[in-house]
């Protein structure tokens, strides 16, 4: 039973990994980029004003509320974003209801405010870091539900690959510390093991939580059979599951005096040392608008603590959520928060990022091993897979570099600018694939790595030439986000260059060895 | 044309893949429905639990389909599980 079990699990590991390997690599890379979506957003909107000196909370409320009154009179919700470490700017956003006359859909608008002039800043039209991260579950150029279902299926196969990988792994703790260099396939396997076992808790968490985040869609028939069919019933169940335990406290503030200012002042008096992250005005078009004050949470894996002030029956009461009503929903929340990592501070965030890259590396080395094991067969199909591996593993990062290049190079007034930035990613990705197919497999890898190194190394230069942000000026202005992205681009470029050099040296040694062998045989 | 060993092997592998992929989904779906309808008196909690468990059920079913000795056994167990889960749910719901 045992050898056959191991064999069948080994087969399953190989093929469940193979089927969606490229898509899963795409999902891991774009999702991992998402851990720095705020920073990428800042880089892609160089016009945004950075707030470095602390500004009085009420002063921010003043200028933000003025702009909201001028621009968002009919909005059902208003939000003001206060400067924080990852978002050092003042933002206003509002939810504009659907307009039956113009046919405009209900949608959110977001604008950045310059603290010195109190004016709205027009930024270039871009989908930013957020769009990059959304690729990892909605894909692109396909209807959103198709994206959800395909990524869910791929993730299910990922889970199967992970679990079968653990099953077939013989000496999981010893091999954790083993790396035998220069031994061809054995070395690739060792690297694959390290990339898989070292961050194994992360891989299992991210895969399972990814599955449950889309469970309402992938297992929609379950909702149909247990709750009800149709969009309305599904939405009703969703709203039901999100129900929270609310504590309500009546306070001394007179109902007529309830406003954002009074709510802010009261909330700050209760939470003296906490920084305000958002103010919100919800249900603006109803009898009982809610005045929200958000504080960055100080512990656990929640992102923020929220107080909602409402005038109810002549009195003002504060609502605070103390957890979800349903315990299963709490479990779901924990997994959701772990997946998104919104709570993570700088160091933990880099750990998330690194773990994601290791996951992508796990998939990439898996694809490489699949080809290496079959190289002796000398089939054209294996050869094409080898070349396309290079196209995906290195071509996708090059595509992402193209996304950043397009952000700087496309004219600011261009129509559908955001769409064309994303198109650039995929156009360059496709071009890389075409290029790789025409080259010999080994050359394909080397060329792509050098191309990636150059593409990333030049990004800070393009930044400097097209905007007023250079590495030096970012240092001087304490623009850490801009600086961080620029420097990271250089680090990635270095990584690609080093890999290209290592590969080149290896191929020189390899061909020299082959030459010697042939000469010896001839004698 | 003779049916070679290779043909048989391809048939068995393909069948197991289909049983695992499609049959596994149905087992997971019916298991989730059963949990969602009958696990606890609290319907919402049950449904969320059922949905979250579905993936584990799917995983176990897939592993079983490929580990079990014969393709026939894989097919039989998955089919019987589906039928059992479906009728158990129907029975527990009572006359409606």
Contacts of A163 in chain B (CB under 8 A): 59, 63
* Rounded percentage of chain A residues whose pLDDT exceeds 70: 97
Is the distance from CB of B27 to CB of B58 less than 8 angstroms?
A: yes
Length of chain B: 96
Chain B contact present for A8, CB below 8 A = yes
Burial of A523 (0-12, 13-18, 19+ CB in 10 A): exposed
**pLDDT given at position A312:** 86
Taking the CA of residue A163 and the nearest CA in chain B, the distance in Å comes to 9
Confidence of residue A264 (pLDDT cuts 50, 70, 90): very high
Burial of A199 (0-12, 13-18, 19+ CB in 10 A): buried
Bridge partners, A324 (sequence order) = A244
For B61, nearest residue in chain A (alpha carbons):
A160
Of B12 and A505, the structure prediction assigns the larger pLDDT to B12
Q: In terms of DSSP H, where are the helices of A176-230?
A: 185-197, 200-213, 215-218, 220-226
For A236, nearest residue in chain B (alpha carbons):
B44
Chain B contact present for A219, CB below 8 A = yes
**pLDDT given at position A182:** 72
Record the tokens describing residue A74, joined without a space: 């009919």
Q: How far apart are CA A377 and CA A270, in angstroms?
A: 72
Q: Nearest-CA neighbor of A355 among A168, A162, A205?
A: A205
Q: Is the pLDDT of residue A494 over 70?
A: yes
Contacts of A221 in chain B (CB under 8 A): 29, 33
Q: How far are the Cα atoms of A228, A288, B56 from residue B92, in angstroms, in the given order?
A: 18, 44, 23
So where are chain B's domains? 18-93
Q: Is the pLDDT of residue A362 over 70?
A: yes
Record the tokens describing residue B45, joined without a space: 């909690």
Q: Is the pLDDT of residue A181 over 80?
A: no
Helices (H) and strands (E) in chain B, counts: 4, 0
Q: In terms of DSSP H, where are the helices of A312-416?
A: 327-340, 346-374, 380-393, 395-409
Are B47 and A159 inside 8 Å of each other by CB?
A: no
**pLDDT given at position A429:** 97
Q: Nearest-CA neighbor of A150 among A142, A469, B43?
A: A142
CA A124 to chain centre: 21
Chain A contact present for B58, CB below 8 A = yes
Q: Which of B33, B42, B52 sits opposite A215 (nearest CB)?
A: B52
Confidence of residue A175 (pLDDT cuts 50, 70, 90): low
**pLDDT given at position B94:** 65
pLDDT in tens, A63-99: 999 999 999 998 999 999 999 888 899 999 999 988 8
**pLDDT given at position A298:** 62
Q: How far apart are CA A205 and CA A186, in angstroms?
A: 28
Confidence of residue A325 (pLDDT cuts 50, 70, 90): very high
Are A226 and B29 inside 8 Å of each other by CB?
A: no
pLDDT in tens, A2-53: 678 999 999 999 999 999 999 999 999 999 999 999 999 999 999 998 888 8
Are A219 and B62 inside 8 Å of each other by CB?
A: no
DSSP string, A416-468: THHHHHHHHHHHHHHHHHHHHHHS-HHHHHHHHHHHHHHHHHTHHHHHHHHSS
* CA-derived radius of gyration, chain B: 16
* A to B CB pairs, distance under 8 Å: 86
Taking the CA of residue A158 and the nearest CA in chain B, the distance in Å comes to 11
Q: What is the ipTM of this complex?
A: 0.95
Are B36 and A240 inside 8 Å of each other by CB?
A: no
Phi first, then psi: give them for residue A102, nearest 5 degrees.
-85, -10
Contacts of B36 in chain A (CB under 8 A): 222, 225-227
Cβ partners under 8 Å of residue A36, min gap 6: A129, A349, A353, A485
So where are chain A's domains? 1-47+128-241+337-376, 48-122, 378-523
Of A371 and B5, the structure prediction assigns the larger pLDDT to A371
The model's pTM is 0.93
Contacts of A334 in chain B (CB under 8 A): none
Q: Is the pLDDT of residue A402 over 70?
A: yes
Chain B contact present for A238, CB below 8 A = no
**pLDDT given at position A418:** 93
Taking the CA of residue B64 and the nearest CA in chain A, the distance in Å comes to 10
Are A226 and B46 inside 8 Å of each other by CB?
A: yes
Are B36 and A160 inside 8 Å of each other by CB?
A: no
Taking the CA of residue A342 and the nearest CA in chain B, the distance in Å comes to 22
Record the tokens describing residue A94, joined without a space: 């509002």
Q: Which of A4, A160, A332 sits opposite B62 (nearest CB)?
A: A160
Q: How far apart are CA A36 and CA A213, in angstroms?
A: 20
Q: Nearest-CA neighbor of A147 among A156, A138, A158?
A: A138
Which stretch of A140-144, A285-289, A436-440, A494-498 has the lowest confidence by average pLDDT?
A285-289
Q: Which long-range contacts (CB under 8 A, 24 or more apart) does A359-362 make?
A: A359/A28, A359/A32, A359/A195, A359/A199, A359/A202, A359/A203, A359/A206, A360/A25, A360/A28, A360/A29, A360/A32, A361/A191, A361/A195, A362/A192, A362/A195, A362/A196, A362/A203
Chain A contact present for B45, CB below 8 A = yes
DSSP class of B20: I
Best to test chain B binding among A4, A236, A328, A333 (most B CBs inside 10 Å): A328
Confidence of residue A242 (pLDDT cuts 50, 70, 90): very high
**pLDDT given at position A450:** 97
In this structure, the strands spanning A77-81 and A90-96 are antiparallel
Mean of pLDDT over chain A: 91
Are A326 and B48 inside 8 Å of each other by CB?
A: yes
Contacts of B63 in chain A (CB under 8 A): 9, 12, 160, 163-164
pLDDT in tens, A101-121: 888 888 898 899 998 888 889
CA B59 to chain centre: 10
Q: Which helix (H) or strand (E) holds A414?
A: none
Q: Which of B44, B50, B59 sits opposite A241 (nearest CB)?
A: B44
Confidence of residue A160 (pLDDT cuts 50, 70, 90): very high
A2 HSE (CA, 13 A, CB side): 1
DSSP class of B17: H
Burial of A174 (0-12, 13-18, 19+ CB in 10 A): exposed
Are A156 and B49 inside 8 Å of each other by CB?
A: no
Q: How far apart are CA B81 and CA A304, in angstroms?
A: 44
Arithmetic mean of pLDDT, A149-171: 94
């Amino acid at each position: 039973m045992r050898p056959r079990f191991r064999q069948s699990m080994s087969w399953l590991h190989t093929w469940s990994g193979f089927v969606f390997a490229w898509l899963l690599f795409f999902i891991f890379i774009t999702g991992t980029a998402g851990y720095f979506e705020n920073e990428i957003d800042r880089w892609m909107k160089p016009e945004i004003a950075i707030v470095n000196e602390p500004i009085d909370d009420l002063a921010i409320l003043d200028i933000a509320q003025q702009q909201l009154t001028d621009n968002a009179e009919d909005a059902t919700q208003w939000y003001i974003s206060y400067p924080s470490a990852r978002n050092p700017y003042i933002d206003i956003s509002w939810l504009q209801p659907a307009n039956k006359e113009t046919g405009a859909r209900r949608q959110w608008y977001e604008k950045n405010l310059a603290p010195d002039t109190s004016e709205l800043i027009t930024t270039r039209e871009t989908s930013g870091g957020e769009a990059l991260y959304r690729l990892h579950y909605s894909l692109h150029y396909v209807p959103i539900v198709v994206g959800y279902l395909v990524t869910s299926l791929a993730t299910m196969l990922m889970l199967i690959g992970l679990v079968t990988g653990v099953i077939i792994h013989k000496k999981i703790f010893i091999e954790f510390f083993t790396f035998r260099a220069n031994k061809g396939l054995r070395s690739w396997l060792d690297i694959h093991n390290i990339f898989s076992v070292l961050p194994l808790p992360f891989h299992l968490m991210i895969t399972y939580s990814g599955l449950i985040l889309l469970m309402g869609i992938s297992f929609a028939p379950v909702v149909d059979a247990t709750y009800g069919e149709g969009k309305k019933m599904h939405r009703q169940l969703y709203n039901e599951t999100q129900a929270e335990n609310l504590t309500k406290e009546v306070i001394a503030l007179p109902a007529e005096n309830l406003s954002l200012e009074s709510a802010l002042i009261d909330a700050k008096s209760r939470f003296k040392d906490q920084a305000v992250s958002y103010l919100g005005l919800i249900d603006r078009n109803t009898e009982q608008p809610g005045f929200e004050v958000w504080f960055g949470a100080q512990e656990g894996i929640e992102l923020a603590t929220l107080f909602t002030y409402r005038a109810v029956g002549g009195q003002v009461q504060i609502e605070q959520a103390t957890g979800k009503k349903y315990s299963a929903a709490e479990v779901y929340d924990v997994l959701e928060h772990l997946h998104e990592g919104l709570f993570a501070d700088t160091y933990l965030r880099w750990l998330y990022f690194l773990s994601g890259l290791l996951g992508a590396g796990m998939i990439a080395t898996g694809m490489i091993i699949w080809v290496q094991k079959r190289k002796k067969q000398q089939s054209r199909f294996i050869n094409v897979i080898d070349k396309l591996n290079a196209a995906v593993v290195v071509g996708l990062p090059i595509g992402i570099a193209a996304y950043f290049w397009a952000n700087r190079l496309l004219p600011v007034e261009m129509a559908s600018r955001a769409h064309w930035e994303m198109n650039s990613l995929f156009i360059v990705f496709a071009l890389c694939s075409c290029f790789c197919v025409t080259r010999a497999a080994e050359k394909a890898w080397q060329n792509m790595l050098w191309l990636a190194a150059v593409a990333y190394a030049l990004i800070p230069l393009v930044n400097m030439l097209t905007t007023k942000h250079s590495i030096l000026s970012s240092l001087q202005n304490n623009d850490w986000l801009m600086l961080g992205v620029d420097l990271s681009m250089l680090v990635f470029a270095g990584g690609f260059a080093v890999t290209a050099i290592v590969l080149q040296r290896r191929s020189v040694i390899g061909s020299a060895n082959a030459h010697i062998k042939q000469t010896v045989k001839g004698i | 044309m003779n049916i070679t060993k290779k043909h048989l092997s391809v048939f068995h592998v393909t069948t197991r893949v289909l049983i695992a992929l499609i049959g596994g989904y149905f087992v997971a779906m019916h298991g989730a429905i059963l949990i969602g309808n009958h696990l606890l008196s609290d319907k919402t909690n049950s449904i969320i639990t059922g949905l979250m468990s579905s993936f584990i059920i799917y995983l176990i079913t897939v592993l079983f389909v490929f580990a079990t000795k014969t393709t026939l056994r894989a097919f039989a167990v998955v089919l019987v599980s589906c039928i059992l889960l479906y009728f158990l749910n129907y029975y527990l719901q009572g006359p409606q």
